A and B are shown apart, each in its own frame.
Chain A
Amino acid sequence: AQSVTQLGSHVSVSEGALVLLRCNYSSSVPPYLFWYVQYPNQGLQLLLKYTSAATLVKGINGFEAEFKKSETSFHLTKPSAHMSDAAEYFCAVSDQGNTGKLIFGQGTTLQVKP
């Protein structure tokens, strides 16, 4: 069975600083990996996804993530944080492509300080 671990339930950065949110996965087959963002009382918005193509994936709003098989990681980064990036971020894994069960990590709250 697949699983995801997000290291750090809460990350705080200053506006303009680098954002790094960590995600490690476990999967018995080549995984599909996703990063989602959630604002209070809303659904999830896809930031980016890895589907076994390029290991460096670029997403929306300046976010990107790199798939590292040797480290079983898929960390999310953004060079310069904006106040509007403050939200809850979830890493997720599917071992059945784009249509199988999506299993989420515990989530990381990103706080951006002015």
Chain B
Amino acid sequence: GAVVSQHPSRVICKSGTSVKIECRSLDFQATTMFWYRQFPKQSLMLMATSNEGSKATYEQGVEKDKFLINHASLTLSTLTVTSAHPEDSSFYICSATSWALGGYTFGSGTRLTVV
């Protein structure tokens, strides 16, 4: 089956530093990847949609300069949280899809803690 690997699973960083989260489709080519943010006991909030080779489309209210998304290849998308602050602490989840896949596959998530 389709597998999406998300790394790291857990990261702690100091306030003001940047953190990069990777999302890889291991056995299929993902034409579209999605990034979600999930606060404790809450739902998944879509942050942005990224298509391979083009700029990401951000949802309203999401700071594109703070959450940099790159989708340079059909198997890799990255989310960089720049100048992280404690309020950026959250669970981030990626999802990948393609026409051939006919569905969505989710990564296992990254728990970001900014101290």
A contact set with B: CB distance below 8 Å = 34, 36, 41-46, 49, 90, 98-99, 101-107, 109
Give chain B interface residues in 4-49, CB to chain A under 8 Å.
Answer: 4, 6, 31-32, 34, 36, 41-44, 46, 49
Q: Which residue of A lies closest to B36 (CB)?
A: A104
**For residue B94, which residue of chain A has the nearest CB?**
A43
Q: Is the CB of A101 within 8 A of B46?
A: yes
Q: Compute how far the CA of A27 lies from the CA of B86 in the bound complex, rounded to whole angstroms.
A: 36
| Residue with the highest number of chain B CB atoms closer than 10 Å, among A36, A90, A101, A109 | A101
Contacts of B103 in A (CB 8 A): 46, 49, 98
Nearest 10 CB-CB pairings of A with B: A43-B106, A43-B108, A44-B106, A104-B44, A99-B97, A104-B43, A98-B102, A107-B43, A106-B43, A98-B103
Rounded to whole angstroms, the CA-CA distance of A92 and B48 in the bound complex is: 16
Complex Cα–Cα for A9 and B108 (A)? 23
The one of A43, A98, A107 in contact with B93, judged by C-beta atoms closer than 8 angstroms, is A43
Please determine whether B42 and A101 come into contact, CB atoms closer than 8 angstroms.
Answer: no
